[in-house]
Chains A and B, each alone.
Chain A
Amino acid sequence: MTSETNMTSETNETAPWEPKIIAFLCTWCSYAGADLAGVSRFQYPPNIRIVKVPCSGRVSENMILSALKSGADGILVSGCHPGDCHFISGNMFARRRFPLLSNLLEFVGIEPGRVSFSWVSASEGEQFAEIVKTVTERVKALGPATRLIKKIDQAA
């Protein structure tokens, strides 16, 4: 049995398209940064859906591809700046893995810009808002995701 994220809102089918971006934020830095952006009233596009993770090093390729498969238009993975990791080096390992994954996805024809990575510290509320803006604009420019999305055919 499987449970899948319900990514398409059930109503509002006619509203103009807005990208849905899954943001995997490290709880120690980027999530706190997002929090700070909130309390400091920095506006950023409401397109991101935040998934709080213990460390950017915890974000596996499975999660990223799973989000794409479920219909996410974009992915943002954000962690602590190198050197600031709560677990000393989790983000350093992540930094080694991420370019390999984004290059591989690009290699098979996923548009560059669907999957983004950033470093945001707990004090960088404004920067977080800026990054979300950039990422959202990028994904908007790409249009709705069409590749690697699982669809279920109701007819057999």
Chain B
Amino acid sequence: MKVFRLSQTELDSMVQGWSQNRRVYRPAAGRQQSAQADCAPGWERVAGSSPLTVATGPSKTSVKTFLFPQPETMQTYTLKSSDPDKGLLKEPEKTTGKQIIVGLRPCDARSVKLNNLPFREDPFYQASLARTVMVGFTCNTMCATCFCDQMGGSPMGTEGLDIAISQVDGTMIAEVLTPAGEELIADLSLTPAEDSDINALAERRKDCPQADSAKLDALKSRDLNKLYGAPVWQALGESCINCGACTFNCPTCYCFDVQDEVVRGQGRRIRYWDSCMFPLYSLHTTGHNPRGQKMQRTRNRFMHKLKYFPDRYGPFSCVGCGRCVQDCPVNIDIREVIHDLLAVE
């Protein structure tokens, strides 16, 4: 691993250099008035020479939009009778050029790793992952809605990042963690970090909020299946309005549906985000809906994150970014849900 010292100007010119021949994206600052045409809501393409600053806390929308786009075109076809290829499913022309995501936080970087568990054999996710380089900023402050430390992450964590940039006592330190990251800085002459910088960074990392393993273990060892009928869910389901604000802004919600769209003879098969909050999500063709009630759908979201996913893959399907807490119209707070579940006798 290489560690460098960066000044703000060096950082800016580095990012600008990347944006010359690659797509570089950063979180949009403040409330976005209008989304960019070639970029998902909440993000913007780096162009020109504006200095790169990243607001405290996670970006408005999560990084999953770059790896699991909404929508992803899986196949294209034509239904025009004049076309000899009529009805043939073709692979769409995919952009293969690298995309660089600058300014994501450790929680989002970790979510990429977590999503890679269910998507490990998914060609689309893997292709996106292969062409994505993530340059993250570690956090010196945790927001009131942040709880990455309680979900097994850390505000100073580097898991999933290619380059991690940390601010330690006014000095910017860049850790280049992967070959993809090294490729990015290959042509640049950067100042290697002093030993004192590296020590200070290690010190800071040691001091930052640590995972409360007792709570994590308590939750993990708890058989949540036994709480399936707990009254907690009833109250929760009653408040929930079953919108998808939590799932769509969640970095680790990865459910999708597949659909064919045909317009004027041109067709494409897309996969787009779906949410377990929507009745259509679990509706059978028979008309039966195993999760026909609001409460059942709300319960499923938390059970999936805290029980089904860890049962299958190990870690909780939550990185503690707090977006769902921030965006929930009815203030359903996953931290309170966990607390309530642990409190049930």
Contact = CB atoms under 8 A, between A and B. Distances in A.
Assess A/B contact in the complex (Cβ within 8 A): yes
B81 interface: yes
Nearest to B69: A156
A150 B263 contact: yes
Contacts of A113: none
A3 B262 contact: yes
Given A10-B81, A11-B82, A154 B76 contact: yes
A6 B268 CA distance: 15
A155 B301 CA distance: 33
A152 B266 contact: yes
A1 B260 CA distance: 5
B265 A155 contact: no
Would you call the interface of chain A mostly helix, strand, loop, or mixed? loop
A151 B262 contact: no
Interface stretch (B49-57, B89-97, B273-281, B306-314): B89-97
Given A1-B259, A10-B81, A154 B93 contact: yes
Contacts of B267: 152
A6 B259 contact: no
A14 interface: no
Contacts of A3: 262
Interface string B238-276: 000000000000000000000111111111100000000
A89 interface: no
B73 interface: yes
Interface in B76-133: 76, 79-82, 92-95
A154 B81 contact: no
A70 B95 contact: no
Contacts of B262: 2-4, 152
Contacts of A151: 263
Nearest to B265: A6
A154 B93 CA distance: 8
Contacts of A60: none
Contact of B264 (A2, A70, A155): A70
Contacts of A33: none
Contacts of B265: 6, 8, 10
B72 interface: yes
Contact of B92 (A8, A11, A154): A154
A6 B94 CA distance: 27
20 contacts: A1-B259, A1-B260, A2-B260, A2-B261, A4-B261, A6-B264, A8-B265, A10-B80, A11-B82, A70-B264, A151-B263, A152-B76, A152-B262, A152-B268, A154-B76, A155-B73, A155-B92, A156-B73, A156-B92, A156-B93
Interface of A: 1-4, 6-8, 10-11, 70-71, 150-156
